[in-house]
Amino acid sequence: MIAVAVHGAEGRMGRLITGLVEQADDMELAGLFTEPGRGLAVGEFHPRLPLLGQEEMSAVLPDGCAVIDFSLAAALDQLLVQARKIGAPLVIGTTGFSASQQNDLAAYAKERPVVQASNFSVGIPAMQMLLQLLARTLPGGFDAEQVETHHITKIDKPSGTAKSLAETYSALRGGGPVPTHSQRLGGVIGEHTWTFSDQEETLVLTHRAHSRQAFLRGILPAVRFAVTRPSGMFGLVDVLKGMADPA
């Protein structure tokens, strides 16, 4: 059985992930964690486990326990401190890290495996691969722009997924940053649309999430992938490729 802890368990995604882990036949929920200094006893948040502050992770989790992180960027520093003590593989869904924090995460990946993605749907890594193909094959006269739309309560603008997609395209295409436009409307779950056009043709590529469950589809495969690797920084594309060609 794979021991798994959820960091950021009180959040909307954390609650969904907790249920997902508990339903997995090959995983055991080993701990639920939230911001430092807070906590709830068994039965107040979860029927079997207490909700603990992140500073208690290394004291209660078994060595090698995988940690799924959907929290806040500010929590990363202490998360890495605790993860190092137990040698935890990490699955990171938190976004908004600074350049310094991203460097710290990359340093951790030299010691233990890290799967990091701004979006754990299956469609987004497929979209990334299509963007790489288009970046390499579209004639130079084609311009690209991105529109991302999310619900009105989403804080980051543009979304972490939109930034990641733009970086994927620009890394191969070159030139300046891809213009990205953000909309916060109603209860839209998540949509990313790319338009490519020159004077003769227009191509439109869209990923649309129909429910929050779409953002969960890659999480358990990411955990299974991470626990089989000794170290390294990986994305969801690596996970999907690994499912077809296991290490």
The count of structural domains within the chain is 2
Same domain membership, residue 89 and residue 152: no
240 CB contacts (<8 Å, ≥6 apart)? 122, 125, 126, 218, 221
Q: What is the CATH number of the domain that holds 91?
A: 3.40.50.720
Same domain membership, residue 223 and residue 101: yes
**Burial level of 177, CB count in 10 A (0-12/13-18/19+)?**
exposed
Same domain membership, residue 59 and residue 161: no
Rounded mean pLDDT, 47-56 = 96
Check whether 150 has a pLDDT greater than 70. Answer: yes
Rounded to whole angstroms, the Cα distance separating 144 from 156 reads 22
pLDDT at 247: 47
Same domain membership, residue 137 and residue 103: no
Please tell me whether the peptide bond between 139 and the residue prior to it is cis, using omega within 30 degrees of 0: no
Catalytic machinery residues: 150, 154
Same domain membership, residue 233 and residue 138: no
Tell me the residue range of the domain where 177 lies: 123-211
Check whether 22 has a pLDDT greater than 80. Answer: yes
Q: What is the pTM of this model?
A: 0.82
Quick: pLDDT tens for 180-233.
Answer: 999 999 999 999 999 999 999 999 999 999 988 888 899 999 999 999 999 999
Check whether 45 has a pLDDT greater than 80. Answer: yes
Check whether 246 has a pLDDT greater than 80. Answer: no
Rounded to whole angstroms, the Cα distance separating 49 from 4 reads 13
* Helix residue ranges, H only, 159-247: 160-173, 219-226, 236-244
Check whether 49 has a pLDDT greater than 70. Answer: yes
Q: Which of 78-87, 166-175, 211-220 has the lowest mean pLDDT?
A: 211-220
* N-to-C CA span, the chain: 19
Same domain membership, residue 76 and residue 9: yes
Give the orientation angle of helix 123-137 with respect to helix 160-173, to 10 degrees.
30
* Helix residue ranges, H only, 114-174: 123-137, 160-173
Check whether 37 has a pLDDT greater than 90. Answer: no
Q: What is the CATH number of the domain that holds 127?
A: 3.30.360.10
